[in-house]
Every structure is written in structure tokens, then in C-alpha cells.
Amino acid sequence: MGTLRFILVRLLNFVLVVWVGVTVVFVLMRLIPTDPIEALIGSMTSQGTIMSEAALDEMRRVLSDAFGLHGSIWEQYGRYLYRNFVSFDFGPSFSSFPTPVSELIGRAVPWTIGLLITSTVIGWVVGNVIGLLAGVYPNRRLSKAVEFVAIFVYPLPYYVLALGLSIVLSYTFRVFPLSAVVIGEPWTLQFVWNVIYNSTLPALSIVIGLMGWWVISVKALSSGVQEEEFVRFARLRGVAEHRVLTQYILRNTLLPQVTVLAIQIGLIFSGSILTEILFQYPGLGTLIFSAVVQGDYNLMMGVIQISIIAVAGAIFLVDLTYPFIDPRIRYR
Amino acid sequence: MMNVRLVLGLVILATFAVVGFILPGFAPEDPTAWQAIGRNRRPGLEHLLGTTSQGQDVFWLATWSVRNSLLLGITVGVAATVIGVLIGLAAGYIGGLFDRVVSFFTDSMIAIPLLPVLILVAAIMRGQLSLAVVAVVLVAFNWPFPARQVRSVALSLRERGFVHTAWMSGESRLRVIVWQFAPYLTSWALANLINTVLVALIFETSIAVIGLSSAGQTTLGTMLYWSLTFQAILAGRWWWYGTPVLAMVILFVGLFLTSSGLSQRSAAIRGRLVAQ
């Protein structure tokens, strides 16, 4: 009973968070002084599309339909919520008409999730190991050097790392491709190899950025836990050093880490969007960028809604892990 | 013990303040004007850091960019921190239903990925996007971080002995907040402010790098964007793309050193108080 209640409360919270998120986007769209329809038509005609007056009027009608701009503000809001929570139908994409937006998004999502999960896990594990060792042996020269490097790497935005990596590994030494081009039939050996080969640079730029953060924070956390009585007692009792490290110190740094992770998921997601754009990696970031370039409003809105759902969903999943990490947290 | 991070960070920030707010006044010609001087010159005595493909002096253009970037960052940092601290204090201090509603809203705002939203705003306002609009959007999405933390600080302070004492002796709510809470919060709020400046700069440069930031006002991000657009990397014009990248790297590291140095310092002071 307790478990079910715990999950249900978190699930309700997830739905409410998504609701607030899409509502904020809705309000924001209405606050922008520019008329999105005229802006889009302007960008189309400036790109050389020639349309007659009748075609323009028709275009305005189609666009105001797509933007959900007819009816009162409450009717608009109602349709908007229906689209976001029930039908997930964001209409056809303008730039690759008549492919539905949901299909384009469906193709991009696995790429983004794959990139994010792989690089977050690698960055987290490596960052934890280095941070833990540096925190437990704070006076070694290597520990100080590691922290020094981390302090310089962490504040750098992913795109600076991406740029640096591509200058070194693509322009100077042609090890990795400048932009991702994946060929081959799905799930053949060639395809898998291609995916890994093309994803290495984007993943590496995210891994390095994340690692910097985890090294700094895990070092601070573990040197704090290290001072605690129970760690000294375990050492005096003759518990093996690797057990002290993993079972006594690492375990007690996990909870604050997970709390921070939950807050940062949105920021990590934003960073990966940019990395994708820079490497033309076929995920959500590149999709929203091409939507912006081509004035594909349906696609833009679709990607934003999916982003909100994805980030809120990830936070929801992280929330669910709390009781596993710290048994003191009961199902509340 | 001297706080190395804080000192180093402050030195870097002071240098950037000089570069951004004093040097632009000495520019020999308008550094943003195109084709004012020869194009693609290498760094030398005449042009310290060379010139761009549009005939702009890289050094003076960079001072101008630093100025705009700093103005944006400081505006967003101050506004978001003030709003966040006020909302967080109110939630933690008033408590009850108000606190629950505000906390829920704060947590939800944190879950909205900022970059896609910023890209959407930029796409719709295309051409008319100014740094002021970027600042407003950044403030709208960055106040929840300080609000969340101030709330938890306020919650724990409320239960402290000295706050009860002030309360019981008939101090007004406002005086309790100003005289009892503020000293605890100021150094922390300062660290947060610097950190928000960092986040704001990262986001502005992020949309600038993909060509979506304000077209009219040059920042470190738009400077990098133009160098990439004109293939400065392939052409080997390292002075053009290298200058904004190096400036960003040093500025970001300086901001991070200052903010983490400030929080180290306030933690150390708190430790000393407890030890006494």
C-alpha cells in the first residue's frame, strides 16, 4: 500500500509539473509582442516563396489553426491542453509536409535519450570515482591537480568543449567526423559501429562537462563524510579500505548527489540540445534547430512539449530512486 | 587562511570590468562598424588582435562584446536573485498552504528546459530580439533556483532560538527578516548572484553561437558566431575565433571561482561561529 501511494503521489506530481510547464509556454507565447503568423509568412516570402493574395489568406487560416489562435483564450488553452495531454497530435510538419510532427519526434527521441543516458552515466561514474579518491586523499598532489583541472572544465559550456574537441580531433587530427552522418541498415554491425563512431565527439563533450561537476562536488562531499565518527570507527575496527570507500563514504554521498541531479536534469538537457546542433547529431536539438531555420512552428512546439515531458519524466524517475538509495526515506 | 579561489576569481572579474566598462571608451573608431579598416589582418602592432573578415578590429570588438555580455549577465543575476530571495523568504517564513503552492510552482519551473524555450522565443521574434528580451526570459526561468534554496534556509532559521527570542520580544515580522535573517543570507545570495551571472552568460552565448541571439548588439557569443559563419577555423584565422573563446573561458572560470570562493568563505565563517 505504502509503495503504491508513494508512486501515485510522485506520478500526480509529474503530471502537474508538465501542466505548469506547458502552461508557462502557452502564457509566454501570448506575451510575445510579435505576431507569429505574420513573422512566419514574412520569413517564407523572404526566402523566395511567391504566393498570391488568396494563397496568403489560406496560409494565414492554416497557420492560425496550427497555432490554435482562433476562439477565445480559454478555448485556445483547452485545445492546447488536449493536444499536450491526450492526443499528442501536433499536426503535420511544414518543412517536411505531410509527415506528422509526432513521427519526426519519434525518430529523434531515441538518439537524444541514447546520447544523454550514455554520457550522463559515464560522466557520473568516472566523476564519482575520481572525486571520491580525491576527497579521501585530499593531500596527494594528484588530488589537487585533478580538482584544479575540474574547476577549469566545469564552468565551460558544452559548446566550448565541443568546439575544442572538434578543432583537435576533427580539424587537426582527423580522427572523428565533424558532423554525424549515420549510414547502414538498423542494427547491422556497420550501423552500430557507425552510431558509436558518430556519437563519440558529442558524447565526449557532455561527459567532460559533467565529470568536472561531479569531481568537484563528490570531492567536497566525501571529504566531509570522511571526517564523520562512523568512518573513523570503521577504520579502527579494521574494515578493509575498499569497503570503507564504497560502503561507508560513497553511500553517504549518494543522497545529496541525487538531489542535485534532479535539479540539474533540465540544464543538462539544454546543454545537450546545443551539442547536438553543433554536431548535427540527429536528435531533438537538431530537430528544433532545423524547425527554427525553416519556420516550422508545429515542429517547434512539438519538440518543446516533448522536452518538458522528458525532463519532468526524468526527474520523476530520479525521485523514485530515493528510497533505494537511502532506506531512511520511507514511502511518504 | 587566504581564500585562493575568491582572490583569483575577483582579480579575473576586476580585469574584465576594466576591459568591459572602461576600455570601450578609448576605441579609436566604432568597433562594430563593418569595413572600417582592412580585412583579415594578422595580429600586430597596428591591430593588437588582428581584424575580422568584416574589417573590424578584434581587440576593440572584444571589449565591446565583454561590455554587453557583462551588462546582460549582471542584470539577470541581480534581478533573478532578488526575486528568488524574496519569494523564497516569503514561502519559508509564511509557510502553510502558501508555501506549498509556491514550492510546487518553483519545482515545476526548474523542470522546464530553458534552452528550447529560449530558442522558440528567438525564432518567433526573429530579427527583433534584443538583449533586453533575452534578459527578461532568463530572469523568468532563473529565479526558482535561489528561491528554492532560500526557502529551506528560511525554514530552518525560523526554528532557531534567536529568531524565537526576537519574535517573543515583540519585533515585527519585517524587522525579524531584515535583522535576523539577512546577515545569514547576504553572503550566500552574493555567491548565488555570481553563479546566475554565469548561467545567464552561458545561455546567451548558447543561442548566440547558433545565430539566434540579438543581431544588433554584439556579445562574446555573437562574435564567436560570426567567426564560425565566416569559416575562421578552416581559414586558420585563430585570432578571430580564439579571442571570444578565450575571453569566455577566462570569464566563466573567474565567475565560478568567485562564486565557489564566496560559498567556501561563508561556510568557513559559519564553522567558526559554531566552534565558538
Q: Which domains does chain A have, with CATH numbers?
A: 2-87 (no CATH), 107-331 (1.10.3720.10)
> Which of A152-166, A215-229, B33-47, B227-241 shows the lowest mean pLDDT across its residues?
B33-47
Chain A residues touching B192 at Cβ < 8 A = none
The confidence score (pLDDT) of residue A332 equals 44
> Which of A184-193, B187-196, B249-258 shows the lowest mean pLDDT across its residues?
A184-193
Chain A residues touching B109 at Cβ < 8 A = 20, 24
Chain A residues touching B235 at Cβ < 8 A = none
Residue B224 pLDDT exceeds 60: yes
Is the Cβ pair B253, A21 closer than 8 Å? no
Is the Cβ pair B112, A167 closer than 8 Å? no
Is the Cβ pair A28, B245 closer than 8 Å? no
Chain B residues touching A296 at Cβ < 8 A = none
> Which of A113-127, A214-228, A262-276, B161-175 shows the lowest mean pLDDT across its residues?
B161-175
Q: What would the grid cell of residue A8 be? A: 501515485
Is the Cβ pair B114, A32 closer than 8 Å? no
Q: Which residues are B57's β-sheet partners?
A: B51
Kindly report, residue by residue over B77-116, the tens digit of the pLDDT.
999 999 999 998 888 878 788 888 898 888 888 888 888 8
pTM, two decimal places: 0.84
Chain A residues touching B130 at Cβ < 8 A = none
- Going by C-alpha positions, the residue among B250, B201, B207, B241 that lies closest to residue B223 is B241
The confidence score (pLDDT) of residue A5 equals 84
Residue B139 pLDDT exceeds 90: yes
Cα–Cα distance, B119 to A28 (Å, whole number): 13
Cα–Cα distance, A269 to A121 (Å, whole number): 14
Burial class of residue A241 (count of CB atoms within 10 Å of its CB; 0-12, 13-18, 19+): exposed
Kindly report, residue by residue over A49-84, the tens digit of the pLDDT.
666 777 778 777 777 776 666 677 788 888 888 877
**Which of A9, A15, A24 to probe the B interface (max B CBs under 10 A)?**
A24
Kindly report, residue by residue over A229-285, the tens digit of the pLDDT.
888 888 888 888 888 888 888 888 887 788 778 777 888 888 888 888 888 888 899
User: In chain B, whose CA is at the least distance from the CA of A294?
Assistant: B123
Contact by Cβ (8 Å): A179, A277: no
A–B CB contacts, 8 A cutoff, strictly below: 128
Sign of the CA dihedral B60, B66, B72, B78?
negative
Q: Which of A36-45, A164-173, A265-274, B138-147 has maximum average pLDDT?
A: B138-147
Chain B residues touching A16 at Cβ < 8 A = 104, 108
Residue B71 pLDDT exceeds 90: yes
Residue A28 pLDDT exceeds 60: yes
Distances (CA, A) of A229 to A224, B47, B178: 11, 62, 37
**Which of B103, B108, B192, B249 to probe the A interface (max A CBs under 10 A)?**
B108
The confidence score (pLDDT) of residue B2 equals 66
To the nearest 10°, report the CA torsion of A112, A114, A118, A123.
Answer: 10
Find the distance separating the first CA and the last CA of chain A, reported in whole Å.
11
The confidence score (pLDDT) of residue B26 equals 77
Chain B residues touching A303 at Cβ < 8 A = 116
Q: Tell me the shortest Cα–Cα distance from A285 to chain B, in angstroms.
A: 8
| Closest Cβ opposite residue B110 in set A156, A266, A278 | A266
Q: Tell me the shortest Cα–Cα distance from B171 to chain A, in angstroms.
A: 36
Chain A residues touching B121 at Cβ < 8 A = 28, 32
C-beta atoms surrounding B92 within 10 Å: 23
Q: Tell me the shortest Cα–Cα distance from B178 to chain A, in angstroms.
A: 29
> Which of A33-37, A90-94, B84-88, B256-260 shows the lowest mean pLDDT across its residues?
A33-37
ipTM of the complex: 0.80
Segment A75-97 shows an average pLDDT of: 77
| Closest Cβ opposite residue A155 in set B109, B126, B198 | B198
Residue B254 pLDDT exceeds 60: yes
pLDDT band at B73 (very low <50, low <70, confident <90, very high): very high
- Strand, coil or helix: B57: strand
pLDDT band at A33 (very low <50, low <70, confident <90, very high): low
Is the Cβ pair A308, B234 closer than 8 Å? no
Q: Tell me the shortest Cα–Cα distance from B120 to chain A, in angstroms.
A: 7
Chain B residues touching A291 at Cβ < 8 A = 123
- Strand, coil or helix: A100: strand
Q: Which of A83-87, B57-61, B246-250 has maximum average pLDDT?
A: B246-250
- Going by C-alpha positions, the residue among B124, B133, B72 that lies closest to residue A30 is B124
To the nearest 10°, report the CA torsion of A140, A143, A148, A151.
Answer: -150
Contact by Cβ (8 Å): A44, A87: no
Segment B221-225 shows an average pLDDT of: 87
| Closest Cβ opposite residue A160 in set B122, B210, B249 | B249
Is the Cβ pair A274, B255 closer than 8 Å? no
Residue B274 pLDDT exceeds 60: no
The confidence score (pLDDT) of residue A44 equals 66
Residue percentage of chain B with pLDDT more than 90: 17
**What does pLDDT average to over chain A?**
81
User: In chain A, whose CA is at the least distance from the CA of B195?
Assistant: A155
pLDDT band at B197 (very low <50, low <70, confident <90, very high): very high
pLDDT band at B276 (very low <50, low <70, confident <90, very high): very low
The confidence score (pLDDT) of residue B11 equals 93
